[in-house]
Amino acid sequence: MLNFKCKFKAGAHGWNSFDWEALKYASDELRADRDVVLEAVKRDGWALKYASDELRADRDVVLEAVKRCGLALEYASDELRADRDVVTEAVKNNPLGFDFAGEELQKDIDLMAELSRHIIKRN
């Protein structure tokens, strides 16, 4: 276990190759390690799927994830799915991320208009 953790963390810090999907098979301890998860979501936002519940509620971790994969918003905590800034970053990456926004934000006309303008500029 210790050897795996050292290799995993070494990879997370760029010393070795690192596959974010390794989180799928990692221990609960590693899935709760902020440094490991943060590095994984920086490489691919989908890694948020395998993070601990605590880290799915960590605003910095979730922002990094949705900036790289807007659909990762699906795995964020309910609180962060209701966070206007987090949802905006997710939609900037992928407009379909809006499907995972909190119910109140999905009804927010001003936010929808703002996001529509961003999507139009993007295309």
**pLDDT value, residue 1:** 30
Predicted structure pTM score: 0.81
Backbone angles phi, psi at 17, to 5 degrees: -65, 150
What is the pLDDT averaged over residues 16-20? 57
Separation CA 32–CA 51 (nearest Å): 6
**pLDDT value, residue 57:** 98
**pLDDT value, residue 5:** 39
Q: Which range marks the domain in which residue 64 is found?
A: 2-122
The domain tally of the chain equals 1
pLDDT digit string, tens, across residues 46-101: 999 999 999 999 999 999 999 999 999 999 999 999 999 999 999 989 989 999 99
Closest CA to 14 of 34, 42, 33: 42
